[in-house]
Every structure is written in C-alpha cells, then in structure tokens.
Amino acid sequence: MTGPVLIAAFEGWNDACQAATNVIRHLVGRYESREVRHINCDGYYDYQVSRPMMCHAAGYANLIWPQTTFYDIALDDVRHIYAQIAPEPNYRWRQYCSESLAIAEELDVNQIITLGSMFSDCPHTRPLPLSVSDGACQCEGDREYNGPVGIPTVLDASAADQGFAHASMWVSIPQYLGSDECAAGTMRLLRALGERIGFSFDTGDLQAKADHWKAQASVLVRCNDQLGDYVSHLEREYDLKCKADDEASPGAPQAEQLVKEAEDFLRHIGD
C-alpha cells in the first residue's frame, strides 16, 4: 500500500513498560521529525490522573499540560510516516477519535496502525508474543479477545468505520518483571511495524538495551527459586504451544497425516 501511514500509541493502561509509546519516541529520536498537529487537552483529561508537569528551563518555570502530538517523520529522502502519541484520554473517547481521524484525513493518511503492550504470563527467555490484527483477520495470535479495551482499540474501530485501512499490534510483556522499560517489547513492535509497511528501521541502541533487559531478568530469576520454577513452567507451556501450532499449520506432515487418516476412516464406514 502506498501513501502515508499514521502510527498511534498511548501512555497508560495500553502501554505496559512503555513498550508501545517508546516505538514512537525511538522513531522521533532516530529520524528527522517535526511536530505538525496537536489536540488540545481541555475536556479530554482528568488532571488528577494525568497531571500537568512543571518544567524549569533557562530560569523560567513552565507548566506542561497533557496533550496529543502528531509528528511527521522522514524515513528517507522520499518516504515519511506520521506518528501520534498521547496519554490515554479520560473522557469523550468518541469525540477524541473523531478529532484524531480528522487530522489523519488532513494529512492524507490512508492507513492507521495502533500499537499496544500488555502484561501477560510469558517467559522473558523466548520471543515476546505478538498479536497483529488486520480488520477481521487475526494475523498472529490464535485467540480473539473479549473484554475491556483501551483507546487504541477504539481508535482502530473508528478508523474502520470511516473507511481507513487499519491494523493493531500488541506485544506481551512478562508480568513478573514489574514496570521498568522493556526494550525487547519495543524491538518486537518496531520490527513488526517494519514488516507491515515494508521498511527496515534503524534500531539504534535498542538491541543492546533489549539484551541488557533480558540479562537483568535472568539474574532476577536465578536469585529466586520460586520465580525460577514459575518461569520454567512458562517456558514449557510456550514451547508446547509453538510445537502444537507447527503441527497444526497447513502443510505440516502431522496435519496431513491426520487428514489422510480421517478420510480413510470415512471411506470405510459401512464396509
């Protein structure tokens, strides 16, 4: 697909260990970027939840209020993408999404990709689980989710209603490691995003940070026998699921053998 893409990520409930919003921070930091649009914070935020920040610079005190920022990110001389980053709004989600999509329309965006990260029961010693949905098609991850949703899902649904091409990407983060930043999760989303839009992103120091995150996690596990047993259990579950997925995939020898045996059985019924 040609034309600009809008990548959206939101701080808060949808952003375990900041893995999703750090994708946008990384892109803004690694490529030539400029702010092109904003959404005013008034009416969308509870300031006792998303508090303004005090910033001192050049001898002056400034209040920084929560807001939505849209960036134009130049990937090379001919290609650019847009990115939207904000704290998750507290109020008026429908109107917020309408305002976001109006800006996307102004920028001639033809595809919207929302990013998210969530805590899950998964081991840090394996590739972090990634779920990618494209409209009604669940491209990775084999379970449809039913339950509470955040603003990325609402924005994705609103984009579909307005005729935008759309997709969402979620990475799972080991819940036993707490809330420190997870560069491995950011790397997982960044690579999936690159595959989606057909571009190889500059990962900078993300791989080194991801390796450090994994090494720290391994030290923590080695120092706690109970946690070590739990992670070993998660590893076995992860490996068994991968094996089952491989065996059930179309064209796998085991799957073909099962189909053949079923067909033979059905042919001989009543003989």
pLDDT in tens, the chain (271 residues): 457 999 999 999 999 999 999 999 999 999 999 999 999 888 999 998 888 889 988 888 988 889 999 999 999 998 999 999 999 999 999 999 999 999 999 999 999 999 999 999 999 999 999 999 986 444 555 466 788 899 999 999 999 999 999 999 999 999 999 889 999 999 999 999 999 999 999 999 999 999 999 999 999 999 999 999 999 999 999 999 988 888 876 665 565 565 566 666 656 655 5
- Both tokens of residue 214? 């994994």
The pLDDT value recorded for residue 64 is: 86
Give the predicted TM-score (pTM) of the model. 0.86
Return phi, psi of residue 2, to 5°. Answer: -100, 170
Please indicate, yes or no, whether residues 183 and 250 belong to a single structural domain of this protein.
no
On whether both 160 and 238 belong to a single domain, the answer is: no
Counting the structural domains of the chain, the total is 2
Does the residue 242 lie in any domain? yes
Residues 85, 118 within the same domain: yes
Q: Could you tell me if residue 123 is inside a domain?
A: yes
* C-alpha neighbours within 13 Å on the C-beta side of residue 22: 23
Map the chain to HEC letters: CCCCEEEEEEECCCEHHHCCHHHHHHHHHHCEEEEEEEECCCCCCCCCCCCCEEEEECCEEEEECCCEEEEEEECCCCCEEEEEEEECCCCCHHHHHHHHHHHHHHCCCCEEEEEEEEEECCCCCCCCCEEEEECCEEEECCCCCCCCCCHHHHHHHHHHHCCCEEEEEEEEEEHHHCCCCCHHHHHHHHHHHHHHHCCCCCCCCHHHHHHHHHHHHHHHHHCCHHHHHHHHHHHHHHHHHHHHHHHHCCCCHHHHHHHHHHHHHHHHCCC
Q: Are residues 84 and 181 in the same domain?
A: yes
CATH code of residue 173: 3.40.50.10900
Same domain as 177, residue 87: yes
Structural domain boundaries enclosing 258: 224-271
Q: Is residue 209 part of a domain?
A: no
Q: Are residues 137 and 248 in the same domain?
A: no
203, 232, 261: which is the final residue of a domain? 203
Q: Are residues 9 and 110 in the same domain?
A: yes
Does residue 132 share a domain with residue 103?
yes
Task: Indicate if 198 and 229 belong to the same structural domain.
Answer: no
Q: Are residues 125 and 251 in the same domain?
A: no
Residue 216 within any structural domain of the chain: no
Instruction: Based on the fold, state whether residues 256 and 159 are members of the same structural domain.
Output: no
Check whether residue 65 and residue 171 sit in a common domain: yes
Query: Please, are residues 158 and 149 in contact by the beta-carbon 8 Å criterion?
Result: no
